[in-house]
Amino acid sequence: MTEQYDSLGEKTRMIDIAMKYTRGDIVKAKEMAAGQYLDIIVMKGKFLAEKKGMSGIFLAFFNYIQEYIANVTSVISYRPTLFEKTRIFDDWKTLNGDLLAYKQGSDMVDSQNFTYFLIDSFVGYDVFPDVQEQNLDDLTKTVTEIIGKSINSDAVKCQIEMESTNSMELELTGIPIDVPGGKSSELAEITREDERIIKIEREVKYVIDGKAVVAPVHGKNVSDLMPGDKIKVMLTGSDVVSEKIMKLLNSYDVEGERMPITGRVKTKIFFEKGGYLIYAFVAKGVLAKIFEEENVKILLDQPMDEVVSESTIFDKRLIYILGIVVGLIILCGIILFQLL
């Protein structure tokens, strides 16, 4: 009986872990815990640049369902050993263990910048379609080009292989998972299993992280926002969908920094302990998820003619008020003159 309880407790623990990666969907979480729901494709790769005397291996974990890069890890050596010894057809857990062991070697070099370059390039080259289709030929060409640019070499030999797994297995193996917005907010954790959240997010293809632009003077109070209101939104995520939207709208300043875009409010949800959760459409089938405190004014996206119209009305009112004041001063002067 004790063994049954232990087994049940372990199963429950697995489902709880899986819930973090299925947006609170209990059915998918159970499937993930049972090894039936696979949301991660692992790209296992090794490369050799003979002219540079450099070799390396890397593992890239793509969440191909929600389209974000969960983790990338790599190791580089100024010897050909890594390329010669590594078998990319081994399962990813074995390769991960080998990679961690290699990192302890004395002949290894710092690969942090290389890892960052891989992540940025995977986004820039938009490799997700090929990853989803596991198109090894095109991916090999792309990754070879990326590595060549990173190490400044036009003679790179590269091999990659793909394997499917799930986010729960990554966590259990001790691999950090960078879920967009997943753990950056206490409110996100509070609302993870809220049925309202699940229902809203199921209705669209993508949900990405966003932040409302605050306007303390001329903005609209968050509590007064209505469905259909157009607000200014900053996309804060580094996921592929956010990058695509920004590039499509070309919403960058002269220094290449992101600029606010227009979001149309779908709905907002009030939480007593955390303020408001706002969902706003930023593209077809794409919602920006925005956490905002109470008593905050949000910048609306108003057409210039409305702004000009409001300014004109204000100017006319000011003229009327000044006219009345001047009139009263003249009237008072006339009265005083007659009394004297």
Per residue in 157-172, pLDDT (tens digit) is 999 999 999 999 999 9
Give the CA count within 13 Å in the CB-facing half-sphere of 290: 31
* pLDDT score of 305 more than 60: no
One domain, residues 140 and 97: yes
Q: Report helix angle 240-249 to 112-124, nearest 10.
A: 60
One domain, residues 127 and 152: yes
Residue located via tokens 């259909």: 228
Domain-located, residue 233: yes
* pLDDT score of 185 more than 60: no
Q: Average pLDDT, stretch 3-25?
A: 74
Domain-located, residue 257: yes
| pLDDT for position 130 | 93
Q: Which is more confident, 254 or 191? A: 254
Q: Which is more confident, 181 or 157? A: 157
Among residues 166, 195, 221, which one ends one of the domains? 166
Q: Average pLDDT, stretch 304-322?
A: 55
Judge contact between 145 and 157, C-beta under 8 A.
no
**Nearest of 110, 124, 236 to residue 185 by alpha carbon:** 236
One domain, residues 101 and 148: yes
Q: Which pLDDT tens digit goes with each residue over 246-274?
A: 988 998 988 888 999 999 999 998 876 66
Among residues 166, 194, 229, which one ends one of the domains? 166
Q: Which pLDDT tens digit goes with each residue over 216-242?
A: 777 888 889 999 999 999 998 877 788
One domain, residues 23 and 47: no
* pLDDT score of 336 more than 90: no
What distance in Å separates the CA atoms of residue 29 and residue 332, rounded to the nearest whole number?
81
What distance in Å separates the CA atoms of residue 207 and residue 199, rounded to the nearest whole number?
12
Domain-located, residue 204: yes
One domain, residues 25 and 57: no
Is residue 317 very low, low, confident or very high in pLDDT (cuts 50, 70, 90)? Answer: low
If one counts the domains in the chain, the total is 3
| pLDDT for position 177 | 85
Judge contact between 162 and 134, C-beta under 8 A.
yes
* pLDDT score of 306 more than 70: no
Alpha carbon of residue 277 to chain centroid = 16
Is residue 19 very low, low, confident or very high in pLDDT (cuts 50, 70, 90)? Answer: confident
Judge contact between 29 and 12, C-beta under 8 A.
no
Domain-located, residue 333: no
Torsion angle of the four alpha carbons 175, 176, 182, 185, in this order, in degrees rounded to the nearest 10:
140
Q: Hey, CA dihedral for 297, 303, 308, 314, is it positive or negative?
A: negative
Strand 230-235 versus strand 220-221 pairing type: unpaired
Q: Which pLDDT tens digit goes with each residue over 97-154?
A: 999 999 888 778 888 889 988 998 998 888 989 999 999 999 999 999 999 999 888 8
One domain, residues 47 and 150: yes
Domain-located, residue 52: yes
Domain-located, residue 331: no
| pLDDT for position 184 | 40
Name residue 298's amino acid: I
One domain, residues 118 and 205: no
DSSP state string for 54-65: EEEEEEEEEETT
One domain, residues 195 and 280: yes
Q: Which two tokens stand for residue 142?
A: 């792309």
Q: Which pLDDT tens digit goes with each residue over 199-215?
A: 787 788 888 889 999 88
* pLDDT score of 328 more than 80: no
Contacts of 248 (CB under 8 A, 6+ apart): 283
Q: Which phi and psi (to 5°) does residue 76 adopt?
A: -130, 145
Is residue 180 very low, low, confident or very high in pLDDT (cuts 50, 70, 90)? Answer: low
Distances from the Cα of 50 to the Cα of 81, 85, 98, angstroms: 11, 15, 22
Residue located via tokens 């149309």: 264
| pLDDT for position 3 | 45
Q: Which pLDDT tens digit goes with each residue over 24-78?
A: 788 898 999 999 999 999 999 999 998 888 999 999 999 998 888 999 999 999 8
One domain, residues 253 and 141: no
Percent above pLDDT 70 for the chain:
84
One domain, residues 21 and 100: no
One domain, residues 28 and 44: no
Residue located via tokens 């879920």: 179
* Domain span holding position 243: 186-298
Is residue 340 very low, low, confident or very high in pLDDT (cuts 50, 70, 90)? Answer: low
Judge contact between 251 and 261, C-beta under 8 A.
yes
One domain, residues 160 and 205: no
Among residues 134, 166, 198, which one ends one of the domains? 166
Domain-located, residue 282: yes
What distance in Å separates the CA atoms of residue 286 and residue 268, rounded to the nearest whole number?
16
Is residue 182 very low, low, confident or very high in pLDDT (cuts 50, 70, 90)? Answer: very low
Q: Find the range with the poorest average confidence among 201-205, 277-281, 329-333.
A: 329-333
Beta bridge partners of 44: 59, 161
Torsion angle of the four alpha carbons 50, 55, 61, 64, in this order, in degrees rounded to the nearest 10:
0
3-state secondary structure of 273: coil
Q: What is the DSSP letter of 223?
A: G
Domain-located, residue 155: yes
